[in-house]
Homo-oligomer: A and B are copies of this chain.
Amino acid sequence: MKQKLLPIVLIVLLVSGTCFAQTGQVSVSSKLTGKAHPSPYNLYNAQYPRVEADSRVTFHFNAPDAQKVQVSIANVAYDMIKGDDGVWAYTSEPQDKGYHNYWMIVDGAIVLDPATNAFIGYSHMCNGFEIPDPDGAFYNLKDVPHGNVLIENYFSKITDSWRHIFVYTPPGYENNTATRYPVLYLQHGGGEDERVWIEMGRTNVILDNLIAEGKAKPFIVVMETSAAYKPGEVPPEPFRPRPAETRDEQPAARPLLRFSFDTYKEVMINDLIPYIDGKFRTLSDQPNRAMSGLSMGGMVTRQVTLANLDKFAYIGLFSGGSISMDDVNNTPGFKEKVKLVFVSYGSRELENRRIGFGGDPKANTNALKEAGINTHFYVSPLTAHEWQSWRRSLYEFAPLLFKD
């Protein structure tokens, strides 16, 4: 906590004068660039984390009895300094633009700061802060027609359980009742879930803005979690990245972990897609269905689409591997059926050779281009394996979808 919880005598829970509710879709205006300001995810007027004018970030944390307090920014721990008032402080190096996860480490225990909103990542809840981007207007809320984000529960026979999804319907969907729309299935990364493409990704805001400018066709987006287990199926231990020593640390080479998304594949094909096509006014033929994902979501997208090219025409892999000519040659009908392969990375990932699995992504996409496959390769400038790369990837990917 930044402020000590004051022992004020009051009617329990009955009184509260302020409530900066911020559930992910706060204004993250690019106008704040160059001005010190509290991070937009802070609750109840909390002043820290404070984003400095030069994109450094100052953290404060009240822990008078602790022996050691660190703040972990995107999984790199930094020592804080204790002040006479028991409040620990740390000011970071300048941070890259966009959203970043952080958490606190108090006497060795990984914990969250309760005064900042919480987001899923790294297989646990995290805190978040946001660095404004002067070129970030594409994910700012604007006075344009807004689509809807729907929270849905549907029952999966494969998992024998209710599943929680988000669905974006584009502006005009409710009123244009004779119109049917194509669908993008959009996957989260490892240690995340179906929330992230709304809460950090700002998918609805990005698409509202693109559609308003006439740059993207209106389409539906479905956000599910790829965690899916049949009754009796034992989920594997949650994997979490090793804490890094530096921001640019290159992860040790390691053979590709062969995770199976077979159950999720069954859920998608047998339960989710039929549910969506039954409930929403979709165009349900192959040329009108796309799938993409970030990081591990790229693995999921590869596995599901390559096994079901009768159902998917567009493939997007954001910081999540690429498709090689071997993949093409091993997948009957690839050239005829796939209308687009889109591969993207943050520039810092490429610098640090965090290129994921499947070989060099640029070489792979060039090979696909030469083979006449519609392939795009996008590099997000000066961003890492983080959300700004993926917001920008969606912004580049969406205009390429469902073109005749």
Contact = CB atoms under 8 A, between A and B. Distances in A.
Given A153-B141, A195-B23, A109 B62 contact: yes
A170 interface: no
Interface string A75-89: 100000000000000
**Cβ-closest 8 pairs across A and B:** A16-B190, A21-B193, A19-B227, A118-B118, A17-B236, A111-B111, A18-B235, A63-B109
A83 to B, nearest CB: 14
A290 interface: no
Given A12-B244, A115-B125, 15 more contacts: A9-B252, A9-B254, A10-B242, A12-B354, A13-B190, A14-B189, A17-B239, A21-B194, A63-B106, A66-B109, A69-B109, A148-B151, A149-B152, A151-B204, A177-B177
A8, A110, A114, A225 pick with most chain B CB within 10 angstroms: A114
Interface of A: 1, 3, 5-23, 25-27, 43-45, 61-69, 75, 103-104, 106-118, 120, 122-126, 141, 143, 146, 148-153, 155, 161-162, 164, 174, 177, 188-195, 198, 204, 225-227, 229, 235-244, 251-252, 254, 257, 259, 295-296, 299, 319-320, 354, 356-357, 385
A149 B151 contact: yes
- A interface majority secondary structure: loop
Given A235-B20, A251-B11, A107 B106 contact: yes
Nearest to A155: B143
A18 B193 CA distance: 10
A155 to B, nearest CB: 6
- Number of copies of chain A assembled together: 2
Contacts of A242: 7-10, 12
A67 B61 CA distance: 18
Contacts of A43: 120, 123-125
A234 to B, nearest CB: 9
Given A9-B242, A190-B13, A114 B107 contact: no
A67 to B, nearest CB: 7
A204 B152 CA distance: 10
Contacts of A114: 103, 110-112, 124-126
